[in-house]
């Protein structure tokens, strides 16, 4: 049966095609323009191309190209905030136009936005500039893409020690994260202190939270589309950076001038060089005590090839690895224990682009991604104290639980521009998933195994095949309609279902500086999260796919926004309202045996839940000049309900941050100096605590009683970070830089874990990161 919303959107498509003027389709003379960096040959995204005869402006895409209408001998103005403006005289509109721009000298201008905010943000995409993402103070002086996104309204990062994206009241598993088109799940290194994306290797970041093209789909709350940067086609460059977190190296250059390029970046922590040696001694029994050990690394490689004037091929590879362990040995008690946590991420993505004439472009994609993590707990010792010669046994326990998710994806997407008023985007995609969760647990007394549990759950017959189409229609100079639908077929064994995801965005430009929009979309999701907080405050997550027992999750979102480029102190401002209604969501609530319950999740998974979130988002920004500032405020209320939980009553969602404020200030002065400070505040998130106790029969202990889920909130989270950095160029033109910073300046004990204290109504709060200084120093060769 066809859903009513599908009939509505199909009718919208037909009406647009019927009422558009076919006579216009051949009335304009079209041309394709390619804009690149004159020094590196790398395409320049977000370049404004203006026809000086008509005043019409277009913007280049990630490949540095756009389709324009221009006459022979017409003139074009080419401008970008980081490059010198250029006027181009068109010799022939029937041939591709290639323009090379020269970059502005360092520190001539400081701009933290790429193009008019009111136009792009109103189309649903937050095209966040890399200077904005990397200039804000960061953990131990290491800039991070995901941390920068949390300065946008409607986006929070969970808590210290567990940093994911939570968008407009949605859960952390509801965000589609793509690296050059490849699917990724957990993209953070251990604890979320930094992500696996090195800023030096990132070429562009598009973030969608209220409306996104139909080629993206299968997730409920947002899309984060990260694109790596092409290599330099003309010169070789290398850079090194040293700091407290991890030394890193990057290099770029031509393999064949103007034809083939490479870019590589690698990063590795060094703390394990000291703590690892101590851990090995403890493990061998050479010494007693305890030690924590942390090891992380990531390697990213990209190759680019130009196959003629209108074809491009790229290959991206990412390998990231984390290991964290805590080891302790106390010979007096014959005790040895070791806890290990590991993460592996592997990505391989192949992308192809071609321009087919003046009106149509084509993109092809193939990728493989694999995510794994494991928890390993081992202990060996006596089963009790040796009092008065009492006999005791040697007890040895081991438990390893792991989760892996792999994806193989193929897609082809096309774009056809009929004229300045009508464009069509279309595509087909096939993605296959494998999910696996396994638990191996054993217990031995005096060397003899007394308990043994080995169980795994593997789902390898999962696929999603999708067709997508979007229509962009401009009935006038001020009004624009974006409407699309993604229709996918989800298959798991013999279970299969169709998942329609229709959407529409209406945009009206009030004047050159102000725009309003209204959006509605429906999203569907098949991935489910088995997430919970364990007994020491760690949030643990396991991913599985919908098993066909319950319906797939669905989200309906409405939003209304006003976007403006004011004249005066502020450059950008926006106010948005949203309402999100999600159905058939799930919640995992384990018993005291966490690991076993994950493998046998069906008995602990509460299904057919509902999540409602609504809120207000305000964003103020100054992007030009020596002083930059941004202020974002979000009010969001997120609540959930499950028939089998909390008596069927609504309760605050796990990461319901009612109020969030992010303030960022940067000041450029002197010869390349920049002082930056960031202050973050958010309401304490809810959690569940016992409200009373009860005695049962002849039991000697009492049992806690919970009256309602998430019945208390942690203390509010707030923190101030500052950083000062200097960048300058040597006589040879190479860049040098150094920076020092302080994380958590006033040493706020922000809650990582909390439990009731002996004082009624009070909490005993455990923090994660105290005040910490940092430095970094780097140079180009």
Q: Euclidean distance between the first and final Cα of the chain, in Å?
A: 63
Give the model confidence (pLDDT) of 705-737 as tens digits: 667 788 888 899 999 999 999 988 888 878 898
Inter-CA distances, 188 with 275, 358, 755, Å:
22, 41, 27
Per DSSP, helices labelled H in 32-154 are 117-121, 130-135, 145-149
- Do 207 and 120 form a contact (C-beta atoms < 8 A)? no
The pTM assigned to this predicted structure is 0.89
- For the chain, the domains span 4-101, 117-780
The CA-CA-CA angle for residues 160, 137, 627, to 5°, reads 140
Q: Which residues contact 108 (CB under 8 A, 6 or more apart)?
A: none
**H or E element at residue 599:** helix 594-599
As a whole number of angstroms, the distance between CA 174 and CA 170 comes to: 7
As a whole number of angstroms, the distance between CA 356 and CA 174 comes to: 35
Q: Which residues contact 671 (CB under 8 A, 6 or more apart)?
A: 107, 726, 728
pLDDT of the residue at 428: 97
DSSP state of 276: H
As a whole number of angstroms, the distance between CA 237 and CA 477 comes to: 45
As a whole number of angstroms, the distance between CA 171 and CA 744 comes to: 26
Secondary structure of residue 15 in the 3-state scheme: helix
Give the model confidence (pLDDT) of 623-678 as tens digits: 777 888 889 999 999 999 999 999 899 999 988 999 999 998 889 888 889 899 99
**H or E element at residue 666:** strand 659-669
Count of residues making up the chain: 781
pLDDT of the residue at 113: 53
Q: Which of 347, 304, 339 is nearest to 323 (CA)?
A: 339
pLDDT of the residue at 359: 84
- Do 696 and 690 form a contact (C-beta atoms < 8 A)? no
As a whole number of angstroms, the distance between CA 15 and CA 2 comes to: 19
The pairing of strands 735-743 and 182-184 is unpaired
* Fold observed for domain 117-780: Maltoporin; Chain A (2.40.170)
**H or E element at residue 279:** helix 272-284
pLDDT of the residue at 24: 40
As a whole number of angstroms, the distance between CA 303 and CA 283 comes to: 42
Output the six-digit token pair for 716.
């509010």
DSSP state of 711: -
As a whole number of angstroms, the distance between CA 661 and CA 632 comes to: 6
As a whole number of angstroms, the distance between CA 623 and CA 113 comes to: 6
Q: Which residues contact 305 (CB under 8 A, 6 or more apart)?
A: 259, 260, 312, 313, 314
Torsion of CA 261, 267, 273, 275, to 10 degrees: -160
Residue ranges of the chain with pLDDT lower than 70? 1-29, 93-94, 105-122, 128-135, 161, 191, 333, 383-393, 537, 691-706, 760-761
pLDDT of the residue at 118: 59
Fold match between domain 4-101 and domain 117-780: no
DSSP state of 695: -
As a whole number of angstroms, the distance between CA 682 and CA 717 comes to: 5
Secondary structure of residue 320 in the 3-state scheme: strand
DSSP state of 117: H
Output the six-digit token pair for 770.
């105290």
- Do 64 and 43 form a contact (C-beta atoms < 8 A)? yes
Give the model confidence (pLDDT) of 218-273 as tens digits: 999 999 999 999 999 999 999 999 887 789 999 999 999 999 999 999 999 888 88
Give the model confidence (pLDDT) of 221-232 as tens digits: 999 999 999 999
Q: Under CATH, to which class is 4-101 assigned?
A: mainly beta
Secondary structure of residue 281 in the 3-state scheme: helix
């Amino acid at each position: 049966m066809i859903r009513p919303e599908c009939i509505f959107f199909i009718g919208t498509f037909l009406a647009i095609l019927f009422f558009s003027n076919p006579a216009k389709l051949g009335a304009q003379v079209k041309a394709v323009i390619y804009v690149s960096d004159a020094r590196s040959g790398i395409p320049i995204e977000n370049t404004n191309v203006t026809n000086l005869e008509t005043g019409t402006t277009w913007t280049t895409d990630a490949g540095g190209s756009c389709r324009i209408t221009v006459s022979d001998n017409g003139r074009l103005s080419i401008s970008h905030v980081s490059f010198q403006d250029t006027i181009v005289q068109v010799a022939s509109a029937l041939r591709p136009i290639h323009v090379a721009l020269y970059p502005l000298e360092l520190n001539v201008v400081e701009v933290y936005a790429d193009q008019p905010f009111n136009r792009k943000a109103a189309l649903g995409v937050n095209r966040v500039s890399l200077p904005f993402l990397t200039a804000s103070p960061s953990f131990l002086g290491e800039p991070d893409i995901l941390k920068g996104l949390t300065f946008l309204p409607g986006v929070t990062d969970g808590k210290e020690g567990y940093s994911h994206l939570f968008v407009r009241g949605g859960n952390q598993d509801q965000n589609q994260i793509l690296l050059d088109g490849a699917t990724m799940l957990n993209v953070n290194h251990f604890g979320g202190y930094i992500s696996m994306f090195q800023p030096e290797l990132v070429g562009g970041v598009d973030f969608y939270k209220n409306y996104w093209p139909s080629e993206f789909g299968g997730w409920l709350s947002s899309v984060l589309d990260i694109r790596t940067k092409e290599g330099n086609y003309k010169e070789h460059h290398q850079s090194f950076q040293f700091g407290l977190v991890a030394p890193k190296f990057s290099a770029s250059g031509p393999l064949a001038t103007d034809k083939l390029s490479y870019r590589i970046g690698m990063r590795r922590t060094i703390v394990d060089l000291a703590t690892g040696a101590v851990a090995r001694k403890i493990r061998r029994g050479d010494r007693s005590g305890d030690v924590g050990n942390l090891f992380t690394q990531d390697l990213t490689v990209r190759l680019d090839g130009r196959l003629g004037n209108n074809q491009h091929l790229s290959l991206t590879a990412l390998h990231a690895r984390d290991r964290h362990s805590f080891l302790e040995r106390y010979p007096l008690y014959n005790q040895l224990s070791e806890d290990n946590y590991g993460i592996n991420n592997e990505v391989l993505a192949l992308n192809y682009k071609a321009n087919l004439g003046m009106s149509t472009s084509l993109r092809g994609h193939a990728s493989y991604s694999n995510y794994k993590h494991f928890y390993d707990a081992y202990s060996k010792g006596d089963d009790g104290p040796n009092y008065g010669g009492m006999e005791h046994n040697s007890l040895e326990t081991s438990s390893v639980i792991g989760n892996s998710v792999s994806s193989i994806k193929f897609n082809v997407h096309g774009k056809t521009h009929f004229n300045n008023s009508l464009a069509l985007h279309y595509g087909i995609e096939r993605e296959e998933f494998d999910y696996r969760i396994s638990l191996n647990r054993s217990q031995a007394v005096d060397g003899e195994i007394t308990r043994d549990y080995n169980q795994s759950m593997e789902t390898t017959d999962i696929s999603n095949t999708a067709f997508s189409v979007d229509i962009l229609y401009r009935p006038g100079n001020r009004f624009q309609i974006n409407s699309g639908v993604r229709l996918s077929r989800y298959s798991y064994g013999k279970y299969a279902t169709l998942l329609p995801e229709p959407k529409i965005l209406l945009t009206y430009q009030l004047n050159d500086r102000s725009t309003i929009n209204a959006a509605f979309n429906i999203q569907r999701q098949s991935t489910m999260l088995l997430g919970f907080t364990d007994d020491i405050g760690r949030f643990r997550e396991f991913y599985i796919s919908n098993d066909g027992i319950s319906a797939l999750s669905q989200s309906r979102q409405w939003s209304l926004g006003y976007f403006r480029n004011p004249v005066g102190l502020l450059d950008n401002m926006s106010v948005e309202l949203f309402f999100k209604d999600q159905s058939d969501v799930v919640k995992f609530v384990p018993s005291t045996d966490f690991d076993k319950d994950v493998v046998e999740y069906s008995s602990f998974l509460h299904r057919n839940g509902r999540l409602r979130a609504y809120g207000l988002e305000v964003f103020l920004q100054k992007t030009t000049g020596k002083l930059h500032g941004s202020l974002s405020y979000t009010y969001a209320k997120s609540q959930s309900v499950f028939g089998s939980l909390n008596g069927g009553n609504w309760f605050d969602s796990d990461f319901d941050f009612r109020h969030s404020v992010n303030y960022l200030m940067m000041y450029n002065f002197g010869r390349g100096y920049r002082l930056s400070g960031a202050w973050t505040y958010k309401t304490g998130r809810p959690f569940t605590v016992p409200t009373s106790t009860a005695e049962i029969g002849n039991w000697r202990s009492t049992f806690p009683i919970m009256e309602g889920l998430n019945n208390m909130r942690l203390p509010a989270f707030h923190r101030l970070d500052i950083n000062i950095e200097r960048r300058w160029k040597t006589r040879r033109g190479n860049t040098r830089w150094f920076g020092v910073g302080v994380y958590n300046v006033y040493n706020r004990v922000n809650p990582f874990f909390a439990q009731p204290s002996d004082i009624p109504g009070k909490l005993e709060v455990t923090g994660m990161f105290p005040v910490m200084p940092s430095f970094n120093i780097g140079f180009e060769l």
